[in-house]
Structure 1
Amino acid sequence: MKTLRVALDGPAGAGKSTVAKLVAKSLGLTYVDTGAMYRAITWKALQEQINPADEAALTAISSRVQIDFKLTSEGQDVFLDGVDITEEIRARDVTANVSAVSAVPGVRASLVKLQQEIANKMGVVMDGRDIGTVVLPDADVKIWLTASVEERARRRYEEMTAKGHQLDFEQLKRDIERRDELDSGREHSPMKRADDAVIVDTSGLGIEAVVEKILHICRSAEAQNF
């Protein structure tokens, strides 16, 4: 399993990060949260009051900052230029702007290069929107993780309110629908299911059941290919 590369794609709120962390831990692989990378660039842009439509400035940020991850007992912390921004990148203003930032070709080029470099060094479980189609088109396992908008909104609502954030559920649903449209409709590296990806619908399923499904797929792929 040490060299297995797993691409886990799907829309916002489908549970990719949670599932990917558990799958990676079970298989002894490195978890790479590509969405956190784009959120980090978005957070930096907002801090510097850069317009999310300013592609040149966003590209410049992505080429000069250093993004690092630190594995913890609870998951993964995100650092930008040595500063822990794990909580900050989940703020609503970051969520509202990350799709626009991640659509910038220069930003994607910088981060895709970094993601591919990581996957070339070690076995990974990498989650995002375009991993199986753009970042790792030759991944050993490709999973498309999805769920209904209602289910995804409920999960995000419970996650954020548990952390003390006050949210309007209906507005959250609209935000998720809007992000789906932006992610799938962008010109460069749109969110798209790879033709050879296995669809896993998590609606009505607990985390353990979803993880077991994916582990079974990964182990079957290992048996066939290694």
Structure 2
Amino acid sequence: MEQAGRPDGRGLVVAIDGPSGTGKSTVSKRLAAELGLAYLDTGAMYRAATWWCQHEGVDLSDTDRVAAAVEAMPLQMVTDPADPRVVCAGTDITAAIREAALTAVVSTVATNLAVRAELCRRQRAEIDAEASGAPGTRSAGRGIVAEGRDITTVVAPDADVRILLTADEAARLARRARERHGSADAAAIAATRDEVVRRDAQDSTVSTFMTAADGVTTVDTSAFDIEDTFRAVLGVVRAVSEAR
């Protein structure tokens, strides 16, 4: 597909939101690769903030110290959709931030409002740099696909395309169980429930990502496989691009 920008010359900005297990990350990376755009996983930035606080010995319950640590965090997001990585203080922490122990506590940092303000600022800066073609950016001004909590409402409410991926709880749990444990049997579902259901409930206290805001297109992926989801999202992007 030919990549479509905007009449003002800025690159295309696609924002994809939704709860855990809807296919956000997989589809967003594939979409970015298809369109020649950069890719930003904003959720990984909250995980990185949690890793950094632990690395620095900060008590995650001390909201002020956590906020100060995150403000000083030396974070680099590698926005290549084929190989997205997270680098903090020169250390590649891409794998480390997905470990179960960190996943269990990331919401403590993600619900810190001062942390959210700081990371939203950084996310907007990443998006603007890719859309404007700032020197050294991945897409050379073609644009970016950004995914994660608040992206369609708080971080990038003026994105060219805003999509909320949703799915029923059973479908989301099964997907995450297969991703984490290789199967969706009862034991795998039980082991995954806390990560999906509890985290969504906790994060929803400071973020709206279960229902679409005005102007945001909802794509229900409950009955979709990843190919169906990708085609549906690509169709929304094409429709919006062609209308401009």
Same fold judged by TM-score > 0.5? yes
CA distance in 2, matches of 1:5, 1:169: 35
Aligned partner (choices 161, 165, 180) of residue 160 of structure 1? 180
2:14–2:144: 8 Å Cα contact kept in structure 1?
yes
Unaligned runs of 5+ in 2: 6-10, 132-142
Q: Of residues 92, 95, 100 in structure 1, which corresponds to 2:100?
A: 92
Partner of residue 125 from structure 1, selected from 118, 127, 145: 145
Match of residue 113 from structure 1? 121
Among residues 154, 157, 171, which one is paired with 1:137 in the alignment? 157
Q: In structure 2, do the counterparts of structure 1 residues 18 and 130 end up closer, same or farther at CA, with 3 Å as the change threshold?
A: same
The 8 Å contact of residues 37 and 144 in structure 2, kept in 1 or not, is answered as yes
Cα gap change, 1:191 to 1:49, in 2 (>3 Å): farther
C-alpha displacement of 1:135:
0.3
8 Å CA contact 1:150–1:173 kept in 2: the answer is: no
State the Cα distance separating 1:190 from its structure 2 match.
4.0
In structure 2, the partner of 1:61 is 69
Unaligned runs of 5+ in 1: none
- Is the Cα contact below 8 Å between 1:149 and 1:173 reproduced in 2? no
Residues 142 and 196 in structure 1, CA contact (< 8 A), matched pair in contact too: yes
Code of the residue aligned with 1:4 in structure 2: it is: L
Q: Does residue 223 of the first structure (1) align with residue 231 of the second (2)?
A: no
Q: Does 1:191 align with 2:199?
A: no
**TM-score, normalised to structure 2's length?**
0.83
* C-alpha separation in 1, matches of 2:81 and 2:158: 30
| Alpha-carbon offset, residue 54 of structure 1 | 1.3
CA distance in 2, matches of 1:216, 1:190: 24
Aligned to 2:60: 52
| CA RMSD between the two structures | 1.9
Structure 1 window deviating more from structure 2 (100-109 vs 29-38): it is: 100-109
TM-score (norm 1): 0.89
* Structure number with higher helix proportion: 1
* Cα separation, 2, equivalents of 1:103 and 1:220: 35
The count of aligned residue pairs is 219
Q: CA deviation at 1:141?
A: 0.8
1:27 aligns with 2:35: yes
Distance 1:47 1:153 in 2: 30
1:194/1:73 Cα in 2 relative to 1: closer, same or farther (>3 Å)? closer
Match of 1:213 among 211, 232, 235: 232
> In structure 2, what is the Cα distance between the partners aligned to 1:173 and 1:17?
19
What is the Cα deviation at residue 51 of structure 1? 2.7
Q: 1:109 to 1:85 in 2, by over 3 A?
A: same
